[in-house]
Amino acid sequence: MEKKKKKKKKKSSGRLSTNHRLKKCKLANSPVKIHKKRKLREEWVSPLVEKYWFQRYDLFSRYDEGIEMDEEGWYSVTPEEIAIRHAQRCGNGIVIDCFAGVGGNAIQFAKMCYSVVAIDIDPRKVELALNNAKIYGVEDYIDFIVGDFFQLAPSLKGDIVFLAPPWGGPSYRSIEKFKLGFLKPKDGFTMFQVAQAITPNIIMFLPRNVDLSQVEELSWLSSPPLEVEIEENYVRNNVKGVTAYFSGAACG
Ligand code: MGP
Ligand code: SAH
């Protein structure tokens, strides 16, 4: 029996016609695809999340060590490379991450800044962010708060306010020019004014299709107007969002 098998194998390893070669290529590719699909099924992510799951190592490089997310977390988390960039711009003060989600930004702030206050209105997000912060070993540098940023704002103190609010879900992409009024749970102008009462050093992470003239208008809410610097943020040559740095957070 064993001998027969060996013989068969030898036969099929002879020269291949072009057609056979094509077949061989297809077969060589298929195990990879099957493997990916199998992994996806093991983890189970919703169809909405699938696209983001394929980008999982861009979102968290340590994804395989036990990172956890819910659906909103998947499509909202700031990719790690961009979160690092945000943190590099914060210096060494106290950062308030007002819409912390599953912790993409808070973790990078904690790695680079003095300390972080991470707020989210959804208790599950705070649980997930704490889990994720532990994976990066930075949980001791973050004060997690479950609460509404707008209610907490009058009692908050910090050197930098970071705003990455909900953009209304992945459908933000279908809007030609995203207006600050579309941000949730309150419009961008109100949000900015609430943040400004804490500090003028504000960083906002916004959709790539945001109306840039409105972003500039935010700086005119102060007298004299705040300095503002706006940058596009890329991952693998794809623009993912736009960041506006105000006042001390701007390079000047
Ligand atoms: P995307 O545009 O939904 O994905 O989100 P992608 O892969 O760039 O889409 P495509 O058009 O190229 O196919 C891009 C990034 O925007 C996400 O990784 C998040 O960092 C950020 N993002 C997306 N949404 C819907 C939100 C949101 O509601 N809030 C925040 N803060 N960030 C978001
Ligand atoms: N930067 C985050 C993603 C933020 S997504 C990351 O990298 O993981 C926006 C978050 O804002 C959501 O998790 C949502 O629960 C939270 N949120 C919505 N309204 C809020 C409010 N009023 N106060 C605080 N958090 C709020």
pLDDT tens digits for range 42-69: 677 889 999 999 999 999 999 999 999 9
Neighbours of 16 (CB within 10 A): 12
99, amino acid identity: F
Output the CA 248–ligand 1 centroid distance in Å.
Answer: 27
User: Residue 22 above 50 pLDDT?
Assistant: no
Output the CA 199–ligand 1 centroid distance in Å.
Answer: 27
Q: Which of 80, 75, 77, 76 is nearest to 50 (CA)?
A: 75
Q: What pLDDT is attached to residue 3?
A: 41
The mean per-residue pLDDT over the stretch 136-148 comes to: 98
Ligand 1 pocket mutation, candidates 49, 71, 75, 81, criterion most atoms within 8 A of CB = 75
Please name the residue whose Cα sits nearest to atom 33 of ligand 1.
76
Q: What pLDDT is attached to residue 18?
A: 32
The mean per-residue pLDDT over the stretch 80-101 comes to: 95
Using CB distances shorter than 6 Å, the residues near ligand 2 are 72, 76-78, 99-105, 119-122, 125, 148-150, 164-166, 185
**What percent of the chain is modeled with pLDDT above 90?**
75
Mean per-residue pLDDT of the chain: 87
Ligand lying closest to the C-alpha of residue 82 = 1
Identify the residue with better confidence: 224 or 21: 224
Q: Determine if ligand 1 sits within 6 Å of the CB of residue 173.
A: yes
Q: How confident is the model at residue 179 (pLDDT cuts 50, 70, 90)?
A: very high
Q: What pLDDT is attached to residue 248?
A: 73
Alpha helices by DSSP H, the chain = 2-12, 18-43, 47-53, 56-59, 71-76, 80-88, 104-112, 123-135, 149-152, 188-196, 212-219
Ligand lying closest to the C-alpha of residue 172 = 1
Q: What pLDDT is attached to residue 195?
A: 97
Output the CA 129–ligand 2 centroid distance in Å.
Answer: 11
**What percent of the chain is modeled with pLDDT above 70?**
82
Ligand lying closest to the C-alpha of residue 186 = 2
* Peptide bond between residue 166 and the one before it cis (omega within 30 degrees of 0): no
**What backbone phi and psi angles, to 5 degrees, belong to 12?**
-75, -10
Output the CA 59–ligand 2 centroid distance in Å.
Answer: 16
Please name the residue whose Cα sits nearest to atom 3 of ligand 1.
170
129, amino acid identity: A
Please name the residue whose Cα sits nearest to atom 22 of ligand 2.
148
Q: What pLDDT is attached to residue 133?
A: 98
Q: How confident is the model at residue 7 (pLDDT cuts 50, 70, 90)?
A: very low
The mean per-residue pLDDT over the stretch 99-121 comes to: 96
Output the CA 150–ligand 1 centroid distance in Å.
Answer: 23
Q: Determine if ligand 1 sits within 6 Å of the CB of residue 172.
A: yes
The mean per-residue pLDDT over the stretch 8-20 comes to: 33
Q: Determine if ligand 1 sits within 6 Å of the CB of residue 86.
A: no
